[in-house]
Amino acid sequence: MVRIMRVLFPLALAAVVGGMIWLRFGNGPARTPKPLDPAFVRLTPLEMATLPLATRFDMPMGSEHGALTYNARAFRVERHLGDDLNGIGGGNSDLGDAVYAAGAGRVVYAGSPGPGWGKMILIAHRLPDGDELGPVVQTMYAHLDTIRVQSGQKVQRGDKIGTVGTAEGAYLAHLHFEVRLGPYVNPGQGYADTPLNRVSPEQFIRAHRGATDEALNQVPLNE
The full DSSP string for 202-216 is: HHHHHHH--S-TT--
The residues that bridge with 181 in the sheet, in sequence order, are 137
Give the residue-averaged pLDDT of 132-151. Answer: 97
pLDDT category at 66 given cuts 50, 70, 90 is confident
pLDDT tens, position by position, 121-137: 999 999 999 999 999 99
Q: Per the confidence metrics, is the pTM higher than 0.85?
A: no
- What pLDDT is stored for residue 211 in this prediction? 72
Angle of CA points 201, 120, 150, to nearest 5° = 110
Q: What is the dihedral of CA 74, 92, 163, 165, to 10 degrees?
A: 80
State the average pLDDT for the chain.
Answer: 85
Which CATH superfamily, name and number, covers 39-208? Glucose Permease (Domain IIA) (2.70.70.10)
User: What is d(CA 140, CA 119) in angstroms, rounded to the nearest whole number?
Assistant: 11
Residue ranges of the chain that CATH labels 2.70.70.10: 39-208
Q: Where are the beta strands (DSSP E) in the chain?
A: 69-73, 83-87, 98-100, 105-111, 119-126, 136-147, 154-155, 160-164, 175-181, 198-199
| Helices first, then strands: H and E counts in the chain | 3, 10
Alpha helices by DSSP H, listed for the chain, are 2-25, 45-49, 201-208
Q: Phi, psi at residue 211, to the nearest 5°? A: -155, 160
Give the residue-averaged pLDDT of 191-202. Answer: 96
Rounded to whole angstroms, what are the CA distances from 146 to 16, 28, 49, 87? 57, 45, 30, 17
Of residues 11 and 192, more confidence is placed in: 192
Give the residue-averaged pLDDT of 42-58. Answer: 95
Residue type, 97: D
Percent of the chain with pLDDT over 70: 77
Would the pLDDT of 34 be above 60?
A: no
Expressed in angstroms, the distance from the first to the final Cα of the chain is 90
- What pLDDT is stored for residue 59 in this prediction? 95
